[in-house]
Structures are given as structure tokens and as C-alpha cells.
Amino acid sequence: MKAFLTRRKSLLVAASAALALTLSACGGGTGGGTNPKPAEKPSFAAGTTMEKIAAAGSIKIGTKFDQPLFGQVGLDNKPVGFDVEIGKLIAAKLGIAADKIEWSETVSANREPFIEQGKVDLVIATYTINDKRKKVVSFAGPYYEAGQALMVNKDNTDITKPEDVKGKKVCSVTGSTPAGTIVEKYGAVLVPAATYSACLEPLRNKQVEAITTDNVILAGLVDKEPDAFKLASEETFTKEPYGIGLKKDDTEFRNWINDQLEAFGKDGSYKKAWADTAGTVIKTAPELPAIDRY
Amino acid sequence: MDAIIESLPLYWNGFLRTLFLSAVSGVIALLAGTLLAAARVSPVAALRGFSMTYVEILRNTPLTIAFFFAAIVLPRLGVKFEQFEVGAIMALSAYTAAFIAEAVRSGVNSVPVGQAEAARSVGMQFGQVLSLIILPQAVRTVIPPLINILIALVKNSSVAGAFFVLELFGYGRQLANSNGDQVMAVLLGVAFFYLLITVPLGILASTVERKVAISR
């Protein structure tokens, strides 16, 4: 028994030492991206969502944690990417510093429920605006327009357009819009994966012929291994306008965000946000799309 | 609700795929697991060692690692299969076999040792003792936990959705994405189809339990 106790003690010591190491390793990370300067004491009309959030001094934003260039969490546990930058810019306009944002992961399937249940104030997560979603949430934006594309092995010559994938195996992420489109519209055989990076192995092994998703994500993947993969074509075959999801019918908040987006487009912060994130890979800088004030 | 009605064919596809994965993996795992359990109680030390090592490794690592190995590492090593289902079935059966082996072994241990001694003293060989005396008695104790393991297997098969096989959960995610206004309903639909497989298994378990209860 005595021996057992000492062993347990030594285990405890070892465990706490390990914990201390981990904690010290976690501390001090500033996270990627930039920290836009928060507005000094912004004032909003009483009763608006902007006023409530500004008064609370923190905002809850949902984003993707596994989407390169848009919203990806690195080892320091802080999300970085273009979506994240847009979130920071909006928070700053509410007088909230970047470190006061509460980020949570919104995977494709939980974006609407999180907004409906008030778990997040905003969802900025490569969130395509569509009519079904408009029934349950409202969208500000679009702040970016992506489009679906195909990525193939470097030596592939027989897939250049989406019609070429009929009956062929194509990898995409389970439950994403592009996965649905490639099956329903173009008759591909879907091979689902958990993340886009997981699709790389079957493509490399020629177990699938192509990977499909939004062009910006594929660009990030091709950029990492330009000798192995390429985009089937520069042309995109769908329009995926990314919007900012918020509580349905909070029109004041939506209009306010739309105004901010237009301001970011004019004052260069939109361009800077792009250049700091996705612009490191995708050389053509986007223009802010026309805001849809439906 | 209309999302569920509209997508019934897709749900059905997913349901069949899940059923197929679970059934094939279940049969393979039952055979392999029983063999592993036999090896575990056999008089041959090498067999005992192999079985113990296998069971302990598979039982104590996450299922995703087995999947990762079957779906990503093996193809890297040049073992390629045309159908991704093969990899999924390999991973599921290898993983489940370890649990089945443990269940069967505990069943074997529940048979009083006097039974085996009596059988030996009549002059039976190890194989005869196991197949004629021990296993028939052990099976009664083993059936309820075995069905539990099979229920877990059905639910575990959803991991295949992250490794290139489109099954019930995968279709569910697909439907949730295309019906952004009815996510909850879609996911409840997925749950319903899982229950369609697992609840009958549970009922079967309790029935069998009542039928084969031994009064010792």
C-alpha cells in the first residue's frame, strides 16, 4: 500500500509538471492575423442589438475552424483567416477589441441552430446565402463571392469541366454545398471525407478522380503542393455568395453590418483583411460584391 | 418535417448502407472475436500472447485510428481497394472483434471450472472441451453483452462517414446542409433511422436474456 501511494504521488508530480509545461506553452501566443483598433465609445440607438453587444463589451462569433484561408484554428487555439478578420473588423466598430471576441466553431450543420438559439451573435463561416436559409436566419452581405471548382492530379487531362465527372468518384466534405451540387447536377459519385485535407490521400492514390469545393479552399490546397495537384480549370461553375448570418429579422443590425461592410470596402480595410489572409495564396484581390439589402 | 418526407429516398440509401456496413462487419467480428477468445484460453502460449496483444491494442485505441489505418495508411502502403466500403468494414470488424473476444472470454470464465475439469477427465481434447462443454454454456451469458456490442457497432459505423463512405450519418449531414431551415428535423430523422436498427436489437437482447437465463 505504501509503495502504491508513493507511486501515485510521483504520478501526480509528473502530471502536474506536464500540465505546467503545457500551460506555459499555451501562454503568450498573440494569435495570427491583425488586431483592428476598436472604436472609442461608439453610441447606438437604445434597444438595438449593436447597443446591447457594445454594452456587454464582448461578442460571440461562430466561424469554421478547419477551413484554410478563411477560418482555421492553429496550434495556439486562435482562429485565423479572412472570415475571422471580417469578424474582428465588425467587432472593432462595436468598440470590442479582437481579444474580447468569443469564437466558437460552427460546422456546416450547426450554423442555423446556433443563431436561432442565440449561442452566437454572428456566423461568419464561408456561409453561402440561399433561400432556404433565409427562412430561419438573416444575412448581411455578401462580403465575398466564391465559386465551386475542381481540383485534380497534376497529370490529369480528362477532367477540365464539371460535366467530365459524371459517374466518376469525387471527394468532398460530408454535408457541404459543393458535395450536394456535384452529385445532383453533375452525377458524380460522392466520396465523403471529414475535412478537405483528408481528400488529398485518395486523390494522390488515384482512388478518386477529383476533389470539389469552393475555389478559394482548393487554391489553398494546390498552393501547398503545386507539383502534385492543379485546378481543373480557373472557371468556377457555381456562385457561392458568402454572407454573415444573424438572428432572423434583426433588420437594424443587418443594415448596420451592411453599412460597415461598405465602409470596409471604401477605406481599404477589406483589401487589407484579404491581403493578410487569403491574399497570401490567391493573388487576385476581390472587390467587395454588391450588398444585397433584401 | 417536409424535408424528411422529401428526402426519404436519400435516408433510405443511407439506412441501407449503414445496415450493410454493420451486418457484414458484425458477422466478421463475431467469427474473428470468437477465434480470438478461443486463442486467449487455449493451452498454446503463443496464441494466448497474440490474442491478448491484439485485443488490448484494438480495445484501447480510438476507432478513428483503426479507420485511419484502413482508409489512409494501407493505400499508402500499396494496398488499394476499389471500394472504400472494404476499408470501413476492415476497420469496424477489426475494432469490434476485440470487444467480442473480451465478451466471449468473460462468458467462458463464467462457466464453473469443474465443467472443464470433468470434460478433461472423461478424456476430451481442448477443442472438444471448448466446443461441446464450455461454449454452449458460455453463449447464454454472452448473448446480452454481444448484442450491446453490436448496437455500439451500428452507431460506430457512422465514423465511416468521415472516411469516404456515404452512410446514414453522411446523408444526414448532406440533408442538414441543403435544408438549412429544418436542421433539427433532419437530424431527428437520422436518429430515427438509427433507432430502427438498434431498438429491435435491444428488444432481441432482452428476449434472448429471458429465454436462456440459467438458474445456477
Q: pLDDT tens digits, residue range B149-203?
A: 999 999 999 999 989 999 999 899 888 888 888 889 999 999 999 999 999 999 9
Nearest to B180 among A133, A191, A202 (CB): A133
User: Which residues of chain A make contact with B183, given a CB cutoff of 8 A?
Assistant: 109-110, 112-113
- Provide the residue count of chain B: 216
- Sheet strands (E) in chain A: 59-63, 66-67, 71-73, 79-80, 101-105, 122-128, 137-146, 148-153, 169-173, 189-193, 210-214, 229-231, 240-247
Nearest CA in chain A to B166: A192
CB B31 within 8 A of CB B100: no
Could you identify the residue written with the cell 476507432? B63
- Among the partner-chain residues B80, B183, B187, the one whose CB lies closest to the CB of A205 is B80
What's residue A228's pLDDT?
Answer: 95
Q: List the single residue in B80, B177, B180 with the smallest CB-CB distance to A207.
A: B80
Size of interface A-B (CB pairs under 8 A): 80
What pLDDT does residue A69 have? 87
Asked whether residue A13 carries a pLDDT value surpassing 70, the answer given is no
B72 touches chain A (CB under 8 A): yes
Query: pTM here?
Result: 0.79
pLDDT at A22 over 50: no
Give the three-state DSSP class for A31.
coil
Q: Which residue of A has its CA nearest to B185?
A: A113
Rounded to the nearest 5°, which phi and psi values hold at A245? Answer: -80, 140
Q: Are the beta carbons of B180 and A132 separated by less than 8 Å?
A: yes
CA-to-CA distance for A92 and A40, rounded, in angstroms? Answer: 9
Residues of A in contact with B169 (CB under 8 A): 174
Of the candidates A136, A171, A193, the beta carbon closest to that of B180 is on A136
Give the burial class of B208: count Cβ atoms within 10 A of its Cβ; 0-12 exposed, 13-18 middle, 19 or more buried: middle
Asked if the Cβ–Cβ distance from B170 to A175 is below 8 Å, we say yes
